[in-house]
């Protein structure tokens, strides 16, 4: 049944709904479900996003080593967006264990997440480029995703559009930002618990279903 969690994780990670919230709801019937399993499944979807955006990542690296300012600023903005998560997200993550145990709270957070998505379609896009202010605001919204029920992609895309970015640019920045964010979350959990829950089949399924959800979201 853990394989089902891998599929749920992959399908919901990149759609603007909370993957961790759905994992808690569907996984609450499993006695051995742990945050370490959820984090490990996130690594599967991390590999999916790296593969999906491989051209953009290679382009950024080539431009960066070529000394192009656009790439340097883009990576700088990713770092700026990470700052609120590092400062506030890590301390708040200590509350997650308690939230996971309370399905009612998770349902409430899912409703809050749905409200953001409802408003997202009603915000006029101004096609502004990512800048220092918008990167920081996106980082603040990413903190909300510490709690199961709030979508990381949904909250950051919402913040980007709220700051005037086009949906395409907000989508791209959100998922480029997800790479260091998810890797950092995995590393932190691994340092706290080296015996992290490595389950191969749900891990592979999270990669495949994550890639599929990215294709669906793009087209």
DSSP string, 11-75: HHHTTTS-HHHHHHHHHTT-TT--HHHHHHHHHHHHHHHHHHTHHHHHHHHHHHHTT-HHHHHHH
Dihedral of CA atoms 94, 100, 102, 107 in degrees, nearest 10, equals 120
Return all residues near 106 (Cβ < 8 A) that are at least 6 apart: 21, 24, 25, 99, 100, 148, 149
Poorest-pLDDT segment among 1-15, 93-107, 165-179: 1-15
Residue 64 pLDDT > 80: yes
Domain containing residue 9:
2-218
pLDDT tens for each residue of 134-169:
999 999 999 888 777 788 888 999 999 999 999 889
**Secondary structure of residue 192 in the 3-state scheme:** helix
- CA dist 181 and 203 (Å) reads 18
Best-predicted range by mean pLDDT (37-46, 132-141, 181-190, 206-215): 132-141
**At how many degrees (to 10) do helices 69-84 and 167-192 cross?**
50
Chain mean pLDDT for the chain: 78
- CA dist 118 and 76 (Å) reads 31
- Percent of the chain residues topping a pLDDT of 70: 71
pLDDT of residue 31: 47
Number of domains in the chain: 1
Among positive and negative, which fits the CA dihedral 127, 11, 106, 102? negative
- Which residue in the block uniquely carries the two structure tokens 């590092």? 86
Report pTM. 0.79
Q: What's the mean pLDDT in 160-186?
A: 90
């Amino acid at each position: 049944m853990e394989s089902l969690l891998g599929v749920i994780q992959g399908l919901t990670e990149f759609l603007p709904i909370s993957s961790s919230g759905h994992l808690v709801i569907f996984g609450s019937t499993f006695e051995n479900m742990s945050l370490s399993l959820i984090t490990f499944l996130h690594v599967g979807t991390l590999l999916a996003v790296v593969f999906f955006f491989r051209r953009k990542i290679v382009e950024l690296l080539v431009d960066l080593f070529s000394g192009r300012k656009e790439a340097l600023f883009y990576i700088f903005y990713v770092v700026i967006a990470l700052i609120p998560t590092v400062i506030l997200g890590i301390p708040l993550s200590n509350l997650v264990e308690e939230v996971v145990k309370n399905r009612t709270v998770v349902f409430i957070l899912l409703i809050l997440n749905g409200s953001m998505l409802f408003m997202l379609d009603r915000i006029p896009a101004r096609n502004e480029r990512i800048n220092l202010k918008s990167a920081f605001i996106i980082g603040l919204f990413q903190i909300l995703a510490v709690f199961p029920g709030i979508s990381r992609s949904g909250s950051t895309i919402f913040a980007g559009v709220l700051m005037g970015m086009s949906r395409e640019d907000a989508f791209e920045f959100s998922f480029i930002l997800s790479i260091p964010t998810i890797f950092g979350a995995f590393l932190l959990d691994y340092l706290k618990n080296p015996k992290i829950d490595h389950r191969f089949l749900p891990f592979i399924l999270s990669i495949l279903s994550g890639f599929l959800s990215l294709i669906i979201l793009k087209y």
